[in-house]
Structure 1
Amino acid sequence: MLIPCFIALMNLIGMFIMWYDKSQAIVGSRRVPEKRIFLIGFLGGAIGIWLGMNLFRHKTKHSLFVAGIPILVVINLFLFVLLALKV
């Protein structure tokens, strides 16, 4: 039960971080470092980041994000399935 909660939390954080970074970009304030965004994606929040990218139209023109986040989504989904099957 702990692992699904962690995954859900990381995806909520991923979506929030994209909203927050977009709002900071609009007002010209301090931004979230790209390394931190990718770290959250690597730790299980890639789906939330991908949803946030598309929902908030943020970083959708950056090739690193357009290619990198979907790759992390696939890796995350693969690992989630492995965890669910307890392989």
Structure 2
Amino acid sequence: MKTDTNRAIGRDPAFPALSDREIRCLQLVAEGMRSDEAANVLALSNNEVNQALIGAQEKLEASNLMHAVSLAMLIGMIDHADPYQPK
């Protein structure tokens, strides 16, 4: 499945809203965490984190998890700033 670029970067608000849990899980994955590490940080089960990531992937119509993270960054749902970069 190919993502429509205009839609992916927010020119068409057709993506369903992600839940706070889905956004937080995507953010932690974007920061390099595995789902079990994210589960530990969020005090959730690994299954709950995986379900949130699957839900986000489906809502964003992403072909895989990294695609979902990329789309979430493009549309501004998660922060793409490098936390280790000096300001």
TM-score, scaled relative to structure 2: 0.27
TM-score, scaled relative to structure 1: 0.27
